[in-house]
Chain A
Amino acid sequence: MQTRLESPAVIALLAAIGLFLCSLANALSRETRDPSQLIYWLGVLLIAVPIFLRLTSSGPSYRERLGLVLLLGLALYGVKIVHDAPLFTLSDEYIHAFNIHQIEKYDHLYHFNPAISTSPYYPGLEGATSALTMLTGASTYLCGTILVGAARLVQMAALFFLFARLSGSARGAGIGVAVYTGTSNFLFWGAQFSYESLSLPLVCVVLMAFVEREEAPPRLRGAWAVPIVLGILAITITHHLSSYALAIIFVALAVLYRVMRVEKPNPWPFAVLAVGSAAAWLLIAAESTTGYLFPVLENALEAIYETAFGDTEARQLFGSPSDTAEAVAGTPIGARAIALLAIAVLGVISLVGLRQVWRRERRNPLAIIFCAFTVAFFAALMLRFAPAAWETGNRAGGYFFIGLSFVAIYGTAQLLRRGPRLMRRRLLLTGALAVVLVGGAISGWSWDLQLARPLKASADGKDIFSEPLALAEFASQRLDGSRFAGPEADARILLHPGGQVAFGGQGPDIEDIVDEPQLRDWQLPLLERNHLPFLVADRRLLSEDTLRGQYFSVKDQYGNELRPKGVVHKFSEIPVGRVWQGGRIVLFNLRDRP
C-alpha cells in the first residue's frame, strides 16, 4: 500500500490535484468571495509533501529522484501561473513585457524603458522571449511563461546534478533541491517574468557545469567549459546582480584554489571572464546600472547603520512591502509562527550541516563557499529589520540559499541513517521540509496577495475590466505610442498591456505631481520638459502600489480608500482636456486647452 501511494504516478496525480486546489482558491478569490486560504495552502502541501516524502526514501532511482524534483519545480511554478493567468500582474513583469513590445516595434534591443531605464541594457530574457513571440505570433504572456517555465525546470535539474555530484548522493541531492524550494522568493517573485528568473537558473547551470568539469577526465574538461563560458556570457547580458554574484563566486574559487593548493586547474580563466565581461558590459553598454543599483545599496547600508544605532525604528516583520497607505490584511499569528519555525528548522539543519560539511568536505573550495553562503543567509535575515534594506536581504537570499540547500543535505543526512524508526524520521523530515516551503512562501510574499484578485471578470458572458486595465486597453487601441505620467500602478499597466511610454515614481518626480492635491509651480514645467502630455489622475490610494493597484476595487475588502478630490480637480481647473474618465481615474491631455 505504502509503495503504491509513493509511486510516481500517484505523486503526479496528487500534485495535479494540489494545483487544482490552488487554482480553485484563486478562482474563489477572483470571484470576490474572500475564501479561506486553507484551500490554497492545502493545495501547496498536496503538491509538495508526497514528493518530499518520496525523496526521503532510499527506494527511488537517480532518474526517479530527478523526475520528482522536476515535477516539484513544475507544479510549484504552476501555483504562480494559476495565480496570474492570463495576464502579467507582478510589478517587474510589466517592465520586461514592455521591453519586448519595444523590441517588436523597433526590431532592435536597447530601446528606452521609463520604469527601469537600465533594464533594456540587460536584454537576455527579452531577446530570448522575442524569438518565441516572433516565431509563434503568440502573446508575450504565453511565450514569457513558457520561457521562464523552461528556465525553472533547468534550475531544478541543474541544482539536482550539482548537489548529487558534490555530495555523492542522489538522495541528498533531491532533499537539497526540496530545501531550495523554501527560499522566500521561490513561489512568486522568483517565478515572475523578470530577468533574474532566467539568470539565476543559468547561474545554477554554470555552477553545475563547473563541478562536473572538476570531476571529469581531462579530455572532457574542454567540453564542460562550453556551458560555463556561454553561461557566463549569457548571464552578463541578462542580469546585473547575477553576473556580479557569479563573478564573485569564481574569484573566490580562484583564490581558494590557490590558498588551499588544490591539485586541479585553477579556475582563474573563468574568474577573469566573469569579471571582465560583467565590467565590460557595465562600462560599454549598461552605464545606467550604477545609477540604478548604487542608490539602492547605499540606502540599504544607511538603513542598516541607522537601524543598528537606533536612529531609525526597526522594520516590523511581516509588514507589507508596499508603501501603500491603504491598510492591508496582516499576516495571521499562526502563519507568522510557521515562517519563524521555518527559520528555526533551517537554523538547526544548517548548524548540523555546517559541522558535517566541515568534517567531510573542507578540502572542496565550492563546499567552503556554500558554507559561507549559509552563514551569509542568516546574516542577511537581519537586513529584514532595516526598512530600506529588507529587499536587498530578500533578493540576496535567493543566491545564499543555494549554499544553504547544499549544507542542508548534510544536516538532514543524520535523520535518514538506517536504524529503528526510520519511517518516523522520514515523516519528521518531510514535515520539516513542508514547514520550510510554507514558511518561505509566507515570508516572501504578502499575506493579502497570496490569493489572486480580479483584474478581468465576466458579466453576462462578456469580459469586463478593472479600471486601470480598461484605461490600458483604451490607450493601446486609441493612443498608440503616447507618453504618460501617472501613479506607479497605472503607469506599469500602461507599459503592458497598454504599450505606452508611461512614467511613474520619482525619477522624474511624477509621484508628487499625481499624489498631491495642489498644483505646484514646478509640476507642469517638469511634465513639459519630459514631454508627457497625457496625465493619469487617480484618486485610489492603491494607485502607487504596483502589486495591488491594478485590480478591481472590492466592496469591504480593498481598493476603497481615496485620496483628496484635489488630485483630479487641480488638473480640471487649469483647464485642460479630459480624454477618458472611469470611476476614480481621469486621463488628461495637457496639450489640449483653450
Chain B
Amino acid sequence: MSRARRLGLTLVAPLIAVVAAALVTSLVLLGVGESVGEFWAVVLSVPSSRLMVTIVNNASVLYLSGLAAAIGFRMNLFNIGVEGQYRIATFAGAYFAGLALLPGPLNTVVAIAVAMVVGAGWAGIAAVLRVTRGVSEVISTIMLNAIAGGLVAFLLRELGEQQGQIRRTTTIPESSWVPGIPLIPGEGSLVYGLVLLALLAGIGYAVVLNRTRFGFDLRATGESETAAVASGVNVKRMTLAALLLSGAVAGLIGMPDLFGDSHAYGSTIQVGLGFTGIAVALVGRNHPAGIALGALIFAFLSVQSNALGITAGISPEIVAVTQGVVVLSVVIAYEVVRRYQLRIEQTEVARALARAPAVSEVHQ
C-alpha cells in the first residue's frame, strides 16, 4: 500500500467520527425541537481571550488525564481508576502543601511528588492484585474509584476545615502558589503556571515510549504478550511498572488547578476528569499529539457550550452527548478502517502470489 493511501486512511477515521458526532447532535436537537443553527453558531463562535485561557487550562488538565490512561492502554491495561487515583492524590497533595512544612517553592515541588506517589500507590493496589492474584484491573479499579471517593470524603471531614458552605483543606501558603503565564494576550488572562507540567509529561511520554528499552518492552507487551515473553520481557514487572506510572501521572491531574487557582482541596472539586481522560486518550489513539488534539477538542466543546443556556436556551449537557458519540464513532471508524486495510493487504498479497507461481516451483 502506498504511503499516501495509508495516511489518507488514517485521517479518514477521525473525519468520519467528527461528522457522525455533528450529525447525531444535530438530530437529537432536531428531535426535541431546538434550533440546530443556533447551537452550532454558539459552539463554533470565536472564543474571547478569557475563554481561550479557560480552554487551554482545561485542555492541559485533560491532557494529563489522557496520558495517564494512555500509558495503560499501550500495554492493553485498562486503568479505569484514573478518576479515583487523581482524587485521592490531589487530596494528599493539597493536604501536604497546606501543612506548610517546607518553605516556598520547595513545598510545591515536594507536594507534587507526594501526589504522584499517592496516585501511584492507589494504582499499585490494582497492580498488585493483578500480578499476584490475577484480578482484572478493570474491575479492581472500578471498585477502587468508589473506595477512593468514600475515603477522601472521610479524610476531608477529619482533616479539613469549614469555610463557609464547603469543607476544604487548609489553604496553601501564598509563597507556594505557582504564578500564571501571560500566554494569551488580553486583560487578566493568565494560563496556569503548571500547564508546563502537561507539556513535560507529554514530552516524557513520547520519549520514554519511543526511545527507551522500557517503552519498547511496554509497547511489545501490548501488541503481543506471548512475543514479548519470548523476547525476555518480564510481563509481571511491566504490568506493575505501567500501572504505577499511570497512577503517578494521574496524580498530576489536579496540580495545575491546585497551585494555580483553588489553593485547597474542597468538596467542590471537579469530578469526572478521569473518565473524560479515558475518552480523550481513545480519541487521540494514545499518540502524544493525538491526545493533545483530543484534549483541546473536548475542552473547546465544554467551554463553548457554557454559553448555550443563556444565548440559545439549550441545555449545555448536550455537549456530553457530542463528546460520547465522538469517542464511540472514533473507535468504530478505526476498526472499520483497520479491517479495510487488512483486506486490501490480503488481496495485494494474493495477487502478487498469483503472478509469480514460477518462484515457488524453483524453490521446490
The judgment on whether A and B are partners is no
